[in-house]
Amino acid sequence: MPAYKDNQRGTWYCCFYYTDWQGKQHRKLKRGFAKQRDAKDFERAFLNKLQGTPQMTFSSLSELYLADMENRLRRSTMETKRHMIETKILPFWGGQTISSITPAGIRQWQNAMISKGYAETYLKAINNQLCAIFNYAVKYYGLRENPCHKAGSMGRKHAKEMQFWTRQEFLQFIRALEDKPQAHMAFEVLYWCGIREGELLALTREDIDLEGMTISVSKTYQRIGREDIITPPKTPKSNRVVALPKFLCDELQQYLATIYDQAPGARVFPLTKYFLYHEIVRGCKVSGVKRIRVHDLRHSHASLLVELGYSPLLIAERLGHENIETTLNTYSHLYPHKQSELAEKLDDLHS
């Protein structure tokens, strides 16, 4: 594994041949190394990555993993994965070979993450991502076992307490936004329809049927870098038609009448998620209601439907959950008093 001195530049370089996955031979040249050892280390890491052995670095494994996932996952999902890996995982494991990473080391990394005070659900997501990368190495690159399995998990899948507003709290909040009609209308739709914020921001006039009193959800909005991205919604079941109450149709009709010369296919709410975050913070401060996230308006809508006595199946259809288990797992804690009501009605029938 030789390295060569570039006398003109005063640096080192490596030059070698390798065979790709199709059996084709290529020449690799890499210049600009300050030391001979750095050039040799680059060639060794490159070949280990190419051969896919457990001696490759975790950084090389991550590159292979992300490249493989690139064509299989949504762009927004990939951006989230990449950010999590680059900021929470690679700084700790990037230079180590994957075969040298132990369960004890994973535990130390977990403790370092826990000490930073991240939310329990975020800790769970970070740990799951690390585990997924090692599973990938076990399946495709000869790693004997996943060290995350022995290390155990951290965090939790669901938050300890779900935050939501009662109808009275929402009405108190929404009055604080009357000075900004666009924000006011956006939060009205979020609360009374239970759609996701990305689904709201992707709505066009063609999605709103005021005569039929429905909103069709068929896409979602993401801001990635400086680019507006419209993609299919989160899951197949997210494609749905949401029935609107008459008062909301009337409000939407008045709102749409204020939008002039809008091009076909243009967004009805040309806002950003940051704008919605800013407005919910402002509205909470002005109104005095407790602070919740924008996404918690979806939980607020679900809790309202539970209170009104609607079944989990209907709520799942309205929210666009992929299966009813998601609805039951997420909102089961809202149903205990319904059990008491059910028992009382059975008692009345027996009397």
* pLDDT score of 242: 97
* pLDDT score of 335: 59
CA distance 263 to 286: 35
**How much of the chain is helix, strand and coil, in % rounded to 5?**
55, 15, 30
- Spell out the domain ranges in the chain: 4-151, 167-340
Residue found by looking up tokens 């599973």 in the block? 135
CA distance 105 to 182: 51
**pLDDT tens for residues 8-58?**
999 999 998 887 766 788 899 999 999 999 998 888 888 877 767 788 899
CA distance 326 to 283: 30
CA distance 31 to 52: 24
Q: Which CATH architecture has domain 4-151?
A: Orthogonal Bundle (1.10)
**pLDDT tens for residues 108-156?**
999 999 999 998 999 999 999 999 999 999 998 889 999 999 999 999 8
CA distance 189 to 209: 14
Which CATH superfamily includes the segment(s) 167-340? Answer: Intergrase catalytic core (1.10.443.10)
Q: Judging by DSSP bridges, how do beta strands 214-217 and 240-243 pair with one another?
A: antiparallel
On average, the pLDDT of the chain sits at 90
The contacts of residue 347 (CB under 8 Å, 6+ apart) are none
Q: What is the average per-residue pLDDT within 47-71? A: 86
Residue found by looking up tokens 């005063």 in the block? 10
CA distance 57 to 41: 11
Q: Rounded to whole angstroms, what are the CA distances from 152 to 91, 92, 148?
A: 21, 18, 6
The 10 Å CB-count burial string (b at 16+, else e) for 329-343 is: ebbeebeeeeeeeee
Element (H, E) at 223: strand 220-224
**pLDDT tens for residues 297-311?**
999 999 999 888 888
